[in-house]
Homo-oligomer: A and B are copies of this chain.
């Protein structure tokens, strides 16, 4: 190898070598019609012989563009990048990025701070997922003139968003559970739920879903505080689902149905139940939320709420690109359809 630090030729070198100005070199590449064909020829020849191509950093600076959109991780990687639902959304975003000739930047917290990450994110637009956005972050993005679209965020905030009707969807699936006679129910909420009430009055998705469950329970003369209903918290991972089983049983031995807010958690529970040779749904029913591919692969197949992760990603990023291009100005909110999917993991309650 060459020990001498190879220095890449810059536009200045091409200018000097070809006898034209930097501007002329730039035009030769980007707007050749503004130069004489003689100049273009000479410049391109020079550039070619020196192996020149523009430095992306400098290019991005002068264009004030990054040619990338960001996906802001709401928590650390362990709780995000192994959730197939989130990955499905990312897949949708990538598809749009590809067709827009953009890259997709996955943005973890920077020095443990989401705010820091947002300050220095090298992106033209940002998509968040599953977070109630603090004002500070919105303010930074506003100052930086970076548009934002929130997926599964807080639909009551004045931010462009893509959501399903989480309250109604949760109500609907809980009704299916109650309709089948279940009364001793364990609800597995997501751990973000913890923060919901405390930090602010932001209605995050877990809270909306709890409200949906609550409304359904009321219709059957129950409430969230009824002793037959218990609530557990879990991270959104398969492993947490696996570990949840012992908690469920110890907290409420008479439980007949577990209602979770996430398929991957439900699948973890189902997996554990199979290992423990507990009959689903005869002994215990399990219900999820998302409708992953995995949910129809596992036996018994999972009863769940289908929500279009891929489409959410596509809609959100298309919307984001509209903002980036200045096509729209107003705060657009997109509500995508959901669908209750009844499969074998939910059975009738037999007293």
**A residues lining the B interface (CB < 8 Å):** 1, 6, 8, 51, 53-54, 56-61, 64, 66-68, 70, 76-78, 81-82, 84, 87, 90-91, 94-95, 97-98, 101, 103-111, 117, 119-122, 140, 142-145, 238, 267, 271, 293-294, 296-299, 329
CA distance A263 to B119 in the complex (A): 40
- 25 pairs across A/B with beta carbons < 8 Å? A1-B329, A6-B142, A8-B144, A53-B140, A53-B143, A56-B121, A57-B64, A59-B120, A60-B122, A77-B91, A77-B94, A81-B87, A81-B94, A94-B106, A97-B108, A101-B111, A103-B107, A103-B122, A106-B106, A122-B122, A238-B293, A271-B296, A294-B297, A298-B298, A299-B299
Q: Are A6 and B145 in contact (CB under 8 A)?
A: yes
Number of identical monomers bound together in the oligomeric complex: 2
- Chain B residue with minimal CB distance to A329? B1
Q: Are A98 and B77 in contact (CB under 8 A)?
A: yes
CA distance A162 to B75 in the complex (A): 28
Within the complex, the shortest CB–CB distance from A109 to chain B, in Å, comes to 7
* A294 surroundings in chain B (CB, below 8 A): 293-294, 297
Q: Are A81 and B77 in contact (CB under 8 A)?
A: no
